[in-house]
Amino acid sequence: MTQSLMGKVAVVTGGASGIGLASAESMMAEGALVVIVDRDETALAALQETYGDAVITLPTDLLDTESCAALIPRILEKTKVIDIFHSNAGLYVGGDLVDAENDAIDRMLNLNINVVMKNVRDVLPHMIERGVGDILVTSSLAGHYPTPWEPVYASSKWAINCFVQTVRRQVCKQGIRVGSVSPGPVITSLLSDWPVEKLDEAKRSGSLMDASEVAEALLFMVTRPRHVTIRDIVIMPSQFDL
Ligand code: NAD
């Protein structure tokens, strides 16, 4: 390890499992102090036990309006700075549109779009004031291709890709890099909500990635020299046939 993030503070939302956890662990391995934000208190307690002073765990339900609004001030109170903000927490709604329930649509759109926008909005003034910062967003391959088995989810990721690209253009002259990673299917708990036939097909063709492969792409983005921005990475299994 090169310890290239020594002295940096990184925040990962939805960091208690899957892609977020892999991202948090890879940044910790490079020396960053990582703040893990998640609603899963049990998983956070186990991570605090495992990683000790290398992490700060913040139990937070980002779908709770007040908790979401308090997030960035709460973190800054503890760490004083935020160098990297990885907005990763997301929900999935797949299958036929006619089967999608109101509550599931609302919660997913709220977390995958509104919460990302609000968290990024809230952390930006701090980064702009310092003239430095990295914002990463976990999007999805579904945000680039109209995947017919998940119209609601795909729409949320198309929206967030637009957000990433427009915010980047707004703040790029102020020392802030904004990038996204768009993975194809990754073995995480989120896949348990995938349509069964789609998941079986992906398993049969070996079209699943490990979360650590996505974390490597994210780490690559934040460890470039500051005059270089890696804008967006699409990372997918070679065998995946859309
Ligand atoms: P995951 O379910 O393993 O992780 C999601 C984490 O977010 C969990 O720890 C969960 O507790 C947390 N979370 C959920 N709702 C929350 C809330 N309201 N407040 C705080 N934390 C909350 O799933 P994952 O696959 O690692 O998903 C992470 C991101 O990756 C999501 O944005 C997802 O859309 C994206 N993604 C996943 C895949 C895939 O195939 N797994 C592919 C492309 C993109």
237 lines ligand 1 (CB under 6 A): no
pLDDT one-digit tens code per residue, 169-190? 999 999 999 999 999 999 999 9
Give the residue numbers marked as catalytic. 153
Provide the pLDDT for residue 1.
60
- Is 61 inside a domain boundary? yes
Domain of residue 78, residue span: 9-235
pLDDT one-digit tens code per residue, 80-105? 999 999 999 999 999 999 999 999 99
119 lines ligand 1 (CB under 6 A): no
171 lines ligand 1 (CB under 6 A): no
- Is 166 inside a domain boundary? yes
In this structure, what CATH number is given to the domain that contains residue 210? 3.40.50.720
Flag whether pLDDT at 35 surpasses 90: yes
Give me the sign of the Cα torsion angle 62, 66, 69, 70.
Answer: negative
Flag whether pLDDT at 168 surpasses 90: yes
Ligand 1 centre to CA of 13 (Å) is: 9
Give me the sign of the Cα torsion angle 145, 151, 157, 158.
Answer: positive
Atom number in ligand 1 closest to CA 89 = 7
- Is 135 inside a domain boundary? yes
- How many structural domains is the chain composed of? 1
**What percent of the chain stands above pLDDT 90?**
88
Provide the pLDDT for residue 158.
98
* Residues 107-129, mean pLDDT to the nearest whole number: 98
pLDDT interval class at 77 (50, 70, 90): very high
Ligand 1 centre to CA of 111 (Å) is: 10
Ligand 1 centre to CA of 148 (Å) is: 20
Give the closest residue to 43 by CA, choosing from 69, 24, 64, 67.
24
Give the closest residue to 123 by CA, choosing from 156, 162, 75.
75
- Is 2 inside a domain boundary? no
- Is 4 inside a domain boundary? no
198 versus 66: which is more confidently predicted?
66
Give the closest residue to 180 by CA, choosing from 212, 217, 216, 139.
139
Atom number in ligand 1 closest to CA 17 = 9
- Is 190 inside a domain boundary? yes
- Is 240 inside a domain boundary? no
- Is 1 inside a domain boundary? no
Provide the pLDDT for residue 29.
97
Whether 66 contacts 40, CB under 8 Å: no
Q: Residue 147 has which token pair?
A: 């995947």
18 lines ligand 1 (CB under 6 A): yes
ipTM of the complex: 0.99
Instruction: Mention every residue, 6+ apart, whose C-beta is less than 8 A from residue 123.
Output: 11, 72, 82, 85, 133, 135
